[in-house]
Amino acid sequence: MLVYSSTEENYLKAIYKFSLTQKKGTSTNAIAKALNTKASSVTDMLKKLATKNLIDYKKYYGVNLTLKGEQVALSIIRNHRLWEVFLVEKLHFKWNEVHELAEELEHIKSDKLIANLDAFLNFPTFDPHGDPIPSKHGKIKKVELQNLTQLNENEEGTFFHVKDSSDNFLNYLSKNNLKIGLKIKVKEIEPFDNSIKISYNNQQLIISKNVAKNLYIKN
């Protein structure tokens, strides 16, 4: 098994996540901002990753993962999300407390540990935030989701995924008892500011359009 440094793995993971939302290669500035480092440091690392056939990198054209690089990135994402499930379901951490811990645990180099962890958790396919967990072969289960802003009045669905997993946002949801798996119904949409009154679990809440944009529903 080839072993990469945690820094190399973090770069590959960041590039993969950018690739999900853009067609062109990822810029060095975008990577630098995501990883909170200097553009010059990014350039040095990209050259290193290119020599290992993990990325295709051309100056001014951006960065793309090779198949090999994508496999490594998906493996790290798989580790991260499995650890998040373990921390929430078995150690009873809150969903806003697990990201940083999983960032550390994801770099443990043991295929057997991850395989046993997966089996211990009964092979979950989604993490506590509704993000898909890649299989050991890098396959991702796809689910058709709708943004809450796409629902009309009196339509409902199951809260399945949260886009913004920052501490502040997850704390906001927790304070209002909004959890993955709850049935959410749109009661009223305010034309003035597009705020939405929703009902769930025998309570009602008015949320802003910005909050609604981060909530995804499964019908």
Interval 154-173: pLDDT, tens: 999 999 999 998 999 999 99
Rounded distance, CA 125 to CA 145, Å?
15
What average pLDDT does the structure give for the chain? 94
pTM of the entire structure? 0.91
Please give the pLDDT value at position 1: 58
Residue 212 lies in a domain: yes
Q: What mean pLDDT is predicted for residues 147-153?
A: 96
Residue 89: pLDDT band (50, 70, 90) is very high
- pLDDT tens figures, 15-37: 999 999 887 899 999 999 999 99
For residues 75 and 70, what is the distance between their CA atoms, to the nearest angstrom? 8
Dist CA 71 CA 200 (whole Å): 39
Q: With respect to residue 209, please indicate whether it lies within any of the assigned structural domains.
A: yes
* pLDDT for the residue numbered 23: 79
**Residue that the structure tokens 């499995």 belong to:** 82
Q: What would the two tokens of residue 163 be?
A: 């886009």
Count of residues for the chain? 219
Residue 160 lies in a domain: yes
Asked if residue 120 is part of any domain, the answer here is no
Spatial CA neighbour of 126 closest among 145, 107, 150: 145
Considering its fold, how many domains does the chain have in total?
2
Decide if pLDDT at 2 tops 90: no
In a domain, 124, yes or no: no
Q: How far apart are CA 127 and CA 149, in angstroms?
A: 23
CA distances from 68 to 34, 65, 135, 145 (A): 22, 8, 16, 29
Return phi, psi of residue 93, to 5°: -70, 155
Say what the pLDDT of residue 33 is: 94
Measured at the CA of 178, the angle between CA 214 and CA 144, to 5 degrees, comes to 50
What confidence tier does 142 reach under pLDDT thresholds 50, 70, 90?
A: confident
Residue 219: how many other CB atoms lie within 10 Å: 11
CATH of the domain at 159: 2.30.30.90
**Structural domain that includes position 39:** 6-65
Tokens 């973090």 appear where?
10
Taken in order 65, 67, 71, 74, the sign of the CA dihedral is positive
Kindly state whether residue 175 falls inside one of the protein's structural domains.
yes
Which CATH number characterizes residue 40's domain? 1.10.10.10
Write the pLDDT tens digit of every residue in 36-69.
999 899 999 999 999 999 999 887 788 999 999 9
Query: Is 196 a member of any domain?
Result: yes
In a domain, 45, yes or no: yes
State how beta strands 215-218 and 156-162 pair. antiparallel
DSSP H or E stretch at residue 79: helix 67-89
Instruction: Say what the pLDDT of residue 79 is.
Output: 97
Q: Tokens 């290119």 identify what position?
A: 50
